[in-house]
Amino acid sequence: MADIFSEEKRSLIMGRIRGKDTRPEMIVRRFLYAQGFRYRLHDKRLPGKPDLVLKKYRSVIFVNGCFWHGHPHCKTGTRMPKTRTAWWTNKISNNRKRDLKKISDLLSLSWNVITIWECDLKPQKKEQTLLRLVKTLQRNKG
């Protein structure tokens, strides 16, 4: 099946996809800040440049998009585009391998790693997810 956009238009669309300051990431950041948590963003000194670094809690948070990181437990993460399927399968597989490597590296440095999935920040799950995050961070502090 051919792409419905020209190569230039597709490039423009893909180029506008953000890696930082995404809507799910901003939801988590605003909530944590309102709760009194302070953090660093995308610290280059740590493996994988985590989205949020809470040094006081020895914790890092990754806010992952379900599609881009191949979330196995949601519809968005398991749906593959109908065009260039092999390319997308390879790309998402490599993203997942890279995610596992950076988590492993952070754990070996004694960091607590928390992953929040985009689907867990949908309106029906958002409050429960964020409250669970606060409890996890408080547990990590002690």
Reading the block at residue 124, the tokens are: 């029906």
8 falls within a domain: no
Residue 12 lies in a domain: no
Looking up residue 129, the CATH number of its domain turns out to be: 3.40.960.10
Q: Name the token pair of 4.
A: 């419905």
Task: Check: CB of residue 69 under 8 Å from CB of residue 96.
Answer: yes
Long-range contacts (CB closer than 8 Å, 24 or more residues apart) made by 122-129: 126/27
What are the strands, taking DSSP E only, across the chain?
A: 40-41, 52-54, 59-64, 112-117
Instruction: State the virtual CA torsion across 86, 48, 44, 118 in degrees, nearest 10.
Output: 80
Taking only the tens place, the pLDDT of each residue in 100-122 is 999 999 999 999 999 999 999 99
In a domain? residue 56:
yes
- Is residue 51 assigned to a domain? yes
Structural domain containing residue 97: 18-141
Phi-psi region at 47: left, alpha or beta (left = phi > 0; alpha = psi -120 to 50): beta
Tally of structural domains, the chain: 1
Q: pTM (2 decimals)?
A: 0.86
The predicted pLDDT at position 80 comes to 85
User: What's CA 62's distance to the chain center, in Å?
Assistant: 5
Q: Using the structure block, give the residue that is written with the tokens 């992952």.
A: 64
Tell me, yes or no, whether 60 lies in a domain. yes
pLDDT tens figures, 66-93? 998 999 888 877 788 888 889 889 999 9
Maximal CA-CA distance, the chain = 55
Tell me: the pLDDT tens digits for 11-47? 666 665 666 778 999 999 999 999 999 999 999 999 9
